Amino acid sequence: MKKTIADLNVADKRVLARVDFNVPQDESGAITDDRRIRAALPTIRKVLDDGGRLIMMSHLGRPEGKDRAADAKFTLAPVAQRLSEALEQPVPLAPDCVGPEVNKVAEGLRDRQVLLLENLRFHGAEQIKDKDTAKNPDLRRHKDEFARQIAQLGDIYVNDAFGTCHRDNASMLTVPQLMAGKPRVIGFLVEKELKFLGDALSKPARPFVVVLGGAKVSDKLGVIRALLGRCDTILIGGAMAYTFLAAEGKQVGKSRIEPELFEEARELRRAAGQRLKLPVDSIAAPRIEADAPTQTCANGVPDELMGLDIGPETIEQFRGALASAKTVFWNGPMGVFEVQPFANGTLAIARALAEATRRGAVTIIGGGDSAAAVDAAGLSEQITHISTGGGASLEFLEGKPFAAIEILDNA
């Protein structure tokens, strides 16, 4: 158990909070989904209501961290505006995340005021990996100096950025390391994530059904292995299913596969036995376009087509497996759900999870495209927990330790 922000007296203190405001935007920079901003609000309001002086930091997008002008489109200005609206108070954006100007603004904060630092990834030092610093002392000094400038801004460190808890970014790990001796706690969002994902691992109500989709088997191998000993059924859809099917000699046409993983796919299939369910039919087409002619294929995908969604019989079989589930974890779409002809499978799974929630099951969605699909179906409020970290949730379920969590204060 880790201490949370609720365990501290933050009045008159500068609270340095690592949050995850890496939100999707359209071409104009407008935020298209503010779920991660809304998820951080309980921690933010707790600090402000208790008289703290809040300094928030986050990354956004993938700036190169070399040319500020070229990276300008990744500014956190739209996030500051959305936060101002949500909190009904000004949320100024600092000109940078380190430097004299930032120090001056931070020192000028008063109780119940908030400041958002500019994008951490405008500095390449944010993403320097510790494994690289072990070989290069100059990189270590660069990362440490960047982190030191951030660490001096706060009296208290709060990690409320679950989506990056599996990374050793400077703001996630080096900053709290340098703040040893000061309170270092988790926020309410991370607390909630650890609770739901931890319970799913350690004490799931059974039957425990896992639904995995997405493009690549390689992204999910570790979590499949880890969950085989814990869950009752694994349902696999999306493009990753075709690697398993091709490994068994099934015809998959032009579907995306990873031939180098055929042997591992066969081994997993043998180890799982009847617990691992693959699609029995597919919606196939010659191209990924809304007007492409589609075909339901029950005996393999023809050479000239690619499988782009699970078919109607697979939907019924998967729904049947979910009908009696008491715990469900879902990560990854069943097809190319962004294109209408190939969305039915993913939306059907979203509806099945909503039905499971209504009858009392614990349903957990591991962020990413699965969360977007539930939003598109208008079912977000009918899911027990939607994680803000797709990659982080998978690594957590895989059982990998998170150094960024382990370093924080124990309760």
Main-chain dihedrals φ then ψ at residue 151, nearest 5 degrees: -60, -35
CA dist 196 to 19, 77, 130, 149, 267, Å?
19, 32, 29, 34, 30
CA dist 6 to 42, 46, 324, Å?
11, 8, 37
Main-chain dihedrals φ then ψ at residue 292, nearest 5 degrees: -70, 140
Of the residues 36, 121, 167, 277, which is catalytic?
36
Of the residues 68, 140, 216, 230, which is catalytic?
216
Q: Which residues contact 138 (CB under 8 A, 6 or more apart)?
A: none
| Nearest-angstrom CA–CA distance, 135 and 35 | 39
Q: Check if 390 is active-site.
A: no
| Nearest-angstrom CA–CA distance, 268 and 266 | 5
Nearest to 165 by CA among 411, 391, 409: 391
Burial of 80 (0-12, 13-18, 19+ CB in 10 A): buried
Q: Check if 230 is active-site.
A: no
Q: Check if 253 is active-site.
A: no
Burial of 373 (0-12, 13-18, 19+ CB in 10 A): buried
% helix, strand, coil for the chain, step of 5: 45, 15, 40
Q: Which two tokens stand for residue 375?
A: 């939003």
DSSP strand pairing (295-297 vs 306-310)? unpaired
Q: Check if 391 is active-site.
A: yes
Of the residues 51, 61, 222, 391, which is catalytic?
391
Task: Give the catalytic positions in this structure.
Answer: 36, 216, 368, 391
